[in-house]
Structure 1
Amino acid sequence: MRVLIVEDEPFLADAIQTGLRREGIAVDVVHDGDAALEYVTINDYDVIVLDRDIPGVHGDQVCGRIVAEHPQVRVLMLTAARTLDDKVLGFELGADDYVAKPFDFPELVARLRALERRNQPAAPPTLADGGVRLDSFRREVTRNGRRVRLSRKEFAVLELLMRADGGVLSAERLLEKAWDMNADPFTNTIRVTISTLRKKLGEPWMIQTVPGCGYRFDGSRD
């Protein structure tokens, strides 16, 4: 999952970014409405965490623009405006969810994952293909009952490939969804991550390279 945080308080924005990255979520941060609209145009986000009272273009206008121009992107308003009228207005603007500050971080993570699932075909939180079992809530992976310890990025890549249900994902798509804007698209990051992931899962290799196209997960090889 890739998330954009729109928050004008740098300390809070950094804290949310750090926490979400520890959950294996790719995160970018901007501090005003103008930058938010620019980033949404450039990058493919699953969810926008949006403060309403931000410099530049107001958060309400940002929400309206995203809903109109990028309907596939979910908007979670995270704001100090906590009255019932504020919440109703947020939903009327097109927000998908509304969390008032102060908030509990585990709840924020749970709400983000719930919003991400809305953009995908219905799928259980636990994925099983061949001998590989991936639990997206517990962040655990096993193969034939053996625990496989993965880094956050390795887990994110494996989850993307398994959710593709045998489809091919390009290196660019994996980089776009599992990393943030600091990732260099010209590095061999994806190739190295795939190679390490294969070794940790063990033979026979279940992640196949499709020349000129990308990678796919093939559970039938177990």
Structure 2
Amino acid sequence: MALLLHIDSAVGEACISLADADQILAELTHKEQKSHASFLQPAINNILEKAGKHLSEIDGISVSAGPGSYTGLRVGLASAKGICFTLNKPLILLNTLEIMAEKIILAQKNPQDMLYAPMIDARRMEVFTALYDHQLGQLLAPGAYLLDGKEFVLPFQHRDKQICFFGSGMDKWQEICPRGNYSFLSLPGGSAAQNALAQQYYAEKRFADVAYSEPLYFKSFYTTAKIQEGL
């Protein structure tokens, strides 16, 4: 386990936190998406001060790298890369949809009984989404999907388990979705899920290239992905 700094500015609420192993030492959140850039650096300084730590003491930095807000992703990754480059620390890139799914999974008493579909609003009738089991195994690959496309419901039918939807794209799907074994949940806050994933990445040395890393836009950030039968 490691002392890790976590940065998440991918979606509406930004969160900066510091964790030692599975213990969150300090965290700050910010709900004004347009001012995430001005929030990040002071927040990093504040949580380090609260935890009584110096930036040089951290073992690495994780960043929620997308999908999400284009500006938020660039700001978050740029901040993480700058610190990693200066201090020669490892960089961990995490999929935002996986972080969201892990938040819900950690909140379930019997997580194996459900499937998990995080949704991020991608404007108009598009959402960034994926479908995971309780171990974050992919049943639908992350991408940008049209909610009103006839083929969209295919991965969410004929399942033995209830599928739960959550995130900023959930409401517009809930308005038009057909009947199914679905639930719609509020997404918990906090950074425990990001820390759990980042600690696993750190232990496995799954580090990103600081110089060449880019946000995880996915190709479908520009063109709508097509759902393949059998996913």
Query: Normalising by structure 1, what TM-score?
Result: 0.28
**Structure with greater strand percent:** 2
- Greater Rg over alpha carbons, structure: 1
**Structure with greater helix percent:** 1
